[in-house]
Chain A
Amino acid sequence: SQQGEEDPQALSIQEGENATMNCSYKTSINNLQWYRQNSGRGLVHLILIRSNEREKHSGRLRVTLDTSKKSSSLLITASRAADTASYFCATVLTGGGNKLTFGTGTQLKVEL
């Protein structure tokens, strides 16, 4: 089955609120990445966290990784309407070459 499962599948919040998305995976990873996809477009890389890291920040984004629970979370603080998109986690498996295995994705809608 697919490596990554994300929840929630869909999330609707008001502008200014924080959005948290979770990702779980099943096997050992080299790193985990988060991507954003606007409707009908390609993916944009947001942040990469390695298996030996626990937390990373980039602007309004905060990613955590718990390898013991095989899970990661993406927090977007002070959300904006422009953050409306689908967000995917993707893992590079240990010994899996450079292939990305994508999660199911979370559709985020930020309303004014």
Chain B
Amino acid sequence: GAVVSQHPSWVICKSGTSVKIECRSLDFQATTMFWYRQFPKQSLMLMATSNEGSKATYEQGVEKDKFLINHASLTLSTLTVTSAHPEDSSFYICSARTPGGWGQPQHFGDGTRLSIL
């Protein structure tokens, strides 16, 4: 159980394109999902917390107009990288926490590798 599906797994596109990444919890409802960014051989940096039915909470330094997050249902959150540029190239990973209060682990998608040419 507790499967998180992320799509697409790999995107290559031209500079200036907007790219949408989907994160779905397949067998549980997730009121909260998280979006991370990871550079090669580095750790995960939290970008934002996605809350179902309300605005996302962004971490300091993350441009909310650049990285649009929508959490329209209990099983789907989307991250849209608007007008992407080469510096946005990275590995983006989403996660969702299973219900149950404090101390529940997060379950991660397999990530999306974004390459902007």
Question: Chain A: residues with CB nearer than 8 A to chain B?
Answer: 2, 30-31, 33, 35, 40-45, 48, 50, 88, 92, 97-105, 107
Contact = CB atoms under 8 A, between A and B. Distances in A.
Contact of B34 (A33, A99, A103): A99
A44 B113 contact: no
The majority secondary structure among interface residues of chain A is strand
Contact of A45 (B41, B43, B107): B107
B77 interface: no
Contact of B103 (A50, A104, A105): A50
A88 B105 contact: no
A107 B43 CA distance: 11
Residue among B4, B42, B103, B113 with max Cβ neighbours from chain A (10 Å): B103
A105 B95 CA distance: 18
Contacts of A107: 41
Nearest to B4: A42
A42 B49 contact: no
B106 interface: yes
A99 B56 CA distance: 13
